[in-house]
Amino acid sequence: MYMTRIGVAVLVCLSMTSLLVYRLIGLQVVDREYYATRAEENRMRLSAVPPVRGLVTDRNGVLLAQNTPAFVLEVVPEQVENMDALLRALRPVLNLDDVEIARFKDRVSKTPRYRPVPLRGNLTMEQVARFQLNRFDFEGADVTATLTRSYPLGSAAAHVVGYVGGITEEEFKKIEAAAYQGLTQIGKVGVEKSHENELRGTPGAKIVEANAYGRPLRELEYRQGAPGKNLVLSLDAKVQMAAEKALDGLDGAVVAIDPRNGEVIALVSKPGFDPQPFVAGIDRTTYKALLDDRKRPLYNRALQGAYPPGSTLKPFMALAGLEYETLQGGHGEYCSGSMSLPHSTRKYRCWKRSGHGWLDMAGGVIQSCDIYFYEVAQALGIDRIHTFLSLFGLGHPTDVDLPLEKSGLLPSREWKMRTRKEAWFPGETLNIGIGQGYMTTTPMQLAQITARMAMRGKGFKPHIVHAMQDTLTGATTQVLAEPLPAIPHRHAQDWETVINAMVEVTASQRGTAYRVFKDAPYRVAAKTGTAQVAGMSQDELRARKLTETPFHLRDHALFIAFAPAEDPKIAVAVIAEHAGHGGSAAAPVARQVMDQYLLGQILYNLPVDPGAGAPVTAASPAAPVELIGSPGSASVDEE
């Protein structure tokens, strides 16, 4: 009886043990892999090592975007004996206020105690020094260096270089999270945005073993990331600064391109803005002020501004006339100051009310006669104008490697029918002839068509990044010029005919830009333009003097030019909003840009200040600028 009970007990023990073993086999044999993975997940912590963003320099190595050390004071709560005492001690050193201290305490309460909590960022050198001097009084606090993006040229290159800022929620949805491990910022505009992928680099990763409280104990694996590539822009900081300075007091844009390879030498949009506040996270008031500014400083006029090209289009119209052989031979056209179309009473006027008299094509370009080009346009008709100007790329973005570029508008019958549901009127063709009406172009496009004119139809896609440098190997990869299909032309000499006329614009006393260029030591092919601002009739406008017109309705001053005319090295487009005549307001800007680029110094309008000493570029010899990637370096003084 008793032995039976013992026997039953033994059986029960054995069966219960089997149950345990059965369960253990389930855990340790059947599901081992699952639990092993869970155990690894438990202990491994992946912490990203953010890559250092690539630098941006101009073609001569001048820094445009760099990473500067910023000092942050951090506190490790675990190492602090008495937090209140520490904060009291730090208060005078950092000029802490109560709000900051309250925020800091809030952060401390939300962070594990072994992890550093930032108390104050962007310490001044003085604050760092004062901290270091008494550092033994601040047990648990330390100054650490981080890198922040900074832009040495400030607002002068803000529209080209752009800026980085915190990744917004919207951006976060679009980016690949793995590529931004450990990163908090992203390129917002300019090169920082368009070349974000090259500049960013690849985040590395540290796999650390951490305990249940998240404290990292040892490094298990280090996955090397790669720093971002350094970008060498084709931009020339000196030219950029010169252009910026030349536009001083004006709103507008300057774009300068090397016609031989499409490299952007300068790109200015005024007014500019200071990119620095965006990096640290711009405050609401500053940002609102920028947005509300009537002059729209954040708006990149060089790429986004669509302006009527005005008379700067005339050389291209002349070229079209030559191509289609529609120009009048002999005496050319007669300008009486106005004309009208058959079956219409509307008068189309020349800017010169007294008229230019008989003019051939060159005369029409040199004196910028409106009547002449009304006739040219009428003879061509809108379809041929559209076809011909399309070859230059008008109506399409130039695809320069910068964000937010607009396409401008090259109107056509089809376009008008599609958007306005209206047939094309013959009078509208006349307006196109002088670059008015529906037609708009961006300064970038103007510079590009000027470059193509300079290259006699050949051309390259404009680009701003000249080379990329691998930061690890130091190897530099040149960005190759991307040739565009050459503009076919029946008579090769037509290019020279038009270019000669453009040269006369600056060289002939009758030329509209003669005054600005008369002493230039290089030959310039150019065209001035004065574009009417929509909203005012031609007659109304002509009747008034510039100063009497409300500012926002005043003419835009435009100017396109390339030089040296026989061996073009730079093509420039300038627009100065509401500044009046192209010859007087925009041409000097182009002159200074070209002076700086071709001569290394500005000859035009040197500041008349004998006490100021040496001119801006006195330090560098006045030798012609060595052009990167150009075969040989022909002196501009050769002519």
Partner 1 sequence: MSSFYRSGNDDTRVRKLFDVLHIDPVLLCLLLAVCALGLTVLYSASGHSMAMVINQAERLLIGLVVMTAAAQAPPEIYRSAAPWFYGFALLLCALTLVLGDHAKGAQRWLDLGVLRFQPSELMKLAMPIMVAAFLHLFTLPPRWHAVVLTLMLIGLPTVVVMVQPDLGTSLLIIASGGFALYLGGLRWQYIFGALAAIGAAAPILWARLHDYQRQRILTLLDPESDPLGAGYHIAQSKIAIGSGGVFGKGWLEGTQAKLDFLPESHTDFIFAVFAEELGLIGICVLLALYLGIVGRGLYIAARAQDSFQRLLAGSLAMTFFVYVFINMGMVIGLLPVVGVPLPLMSYGGTSMVSLLAGFGLLMSIHTHRKLLAS
- What is the DSSP-derived secondary structure letter of residue 297? T
Contact 155, 272 (CB under 8 A): yes
DSSP string, 537-598: -HHHHHHS-GGGS-GGGSPEEEEEEEESTTS--EEEEEEETT---IIIIIHHHHHHHHIIII
- Taking CB under 8 A as the criterion, which residues in 32-91 touch partner 1? 32, 34-36, 38-39, 42-43
Cβ closest to partner 1, residue 217 vs residue 480: 217
Q: Which phi and psi (to 5°) does residue 106 adopt?
A: -65, -45
Cβ closest to partner 1, residue 213 vs residue 551: 213
- Taking CB under 8 A as the criterion, which residues in 264-283 touch partner 1? none
For residues 157 and 241, give the distance between their C-alpha atoms in angstroms, rounded to a whole number.
8
CB of 219 to partner 1, least distance (A): 15
User: If binding is defined by CB under 8 A, does position 113 make contact with partner 1?
Assistant: no
CB of 77 to partner 1, least distance (A): 20
Among 19, 102, 145, 534, binds partner 1 (CB under 8 A): 19
With tokens 């040219």, the residue in question is 376
Beta strand spans in 483-627 (E): 525-531, 556-563, 570-576
The pattern of x and - marking residues 197 through 226 that bind partner 1 according to CB under 8 A reads: ------------xxxxx---x---------
The amino acid present at 603, given as its one-letter code, is L
The amino acid present at 481, given as its one-letter code, is A
User: If binding is defined by CB under 8 A, does position 20 make contact with partner 1?
Assistant: yes
CB of 80 to partner 1, least distance (A): 23
- Give me the helix-helix angle, 237-246 and 587-594, nearest 10°: 160
Among 11, 24, 417, 480, binds partner 1 (CB under 8 A): 24
With residue 318 as reference, give the H or E element that holds it. helix 314-323
CB of 115 to partner 1, least distance (A): 17
Cβ closest to partner 1, residue 37 vs residue 68: 37
Tokens coding 486: 């050459």
Tokens coding 119: 């108390």
With tokens 């002519």, the residue in question is 639
Instruction: Assess whether 635 carries a catalytic annotation.
Output: no
Q: How far is CA 153 from CA 63, 236, 274, 280, in A?
A: 8, 12, 9, 17
CB of 110 to partner 1, least distance (A): 19
Cβ closest to partner 1, residue 147 vs residue 217: 217
# residues near partner 1 by CB under 8 A:
35
Q: Which phi and psi (to 5°) does residue 16 adopt?
A: -70, -35
User: If binding is defined by CB under 8 A, does position 423 make contact with partner 1?
Assistant: no
From the list 1-9, 62-70, 315-323, 454-462, the region that binds partner 1 by CB under 8 A is 1-9
Among 11, 25, 178, 289, binds partner 1 (CB under 8 A): 25
For residues 361 and 368, give the distance between their C-alpha atoms in angstroms, rounded to a whole number.
10
Among 10, 85, 291, 486, binds partner 1 (CB under 8 A): 10
Catalytic residue among 194, 311, 412, 584: 311
Contact 524, 587 (CB under 8 A): no
Among 31, 106, 283, 325, binds partner 1 (CB under 8 A): 31
User: If binding is defined by CB under 8 A, does position 486 make contact with partner 1?
Assistant: no
For residues 632 and 635, give the distance between their C-alpha atoms in angstroms, rounded to a whole number.
9
For residues 200 and 54, give the distance between their C-alpha atoms in angstroms, rounded to a whole number.
7
CB of 16 to partner 1, least distance (A): 5
With tokens 């999270």, the residue in question is 177
User: If binding is defined by CB under 8 A, does position 17 make contact with partner 1?
Assistant: yes
Task: Residue 555: count other Cβ atoms within 10 Å of its Cβ.
Answer: 24
User: If binding is defined by CB under 8 A, does position 23 make contact with partner 1?
Assistant: yes
Q: Which residues bind partner 1 (CB under 8 A)?
A: 1-3, 5-6, 9-10, 13-14, 16-17, 19-21, 23-25, 27-29, 31-32, 34-36, 38-39, 42-43, 209-213, 217
Catalytic residue annotation: 311
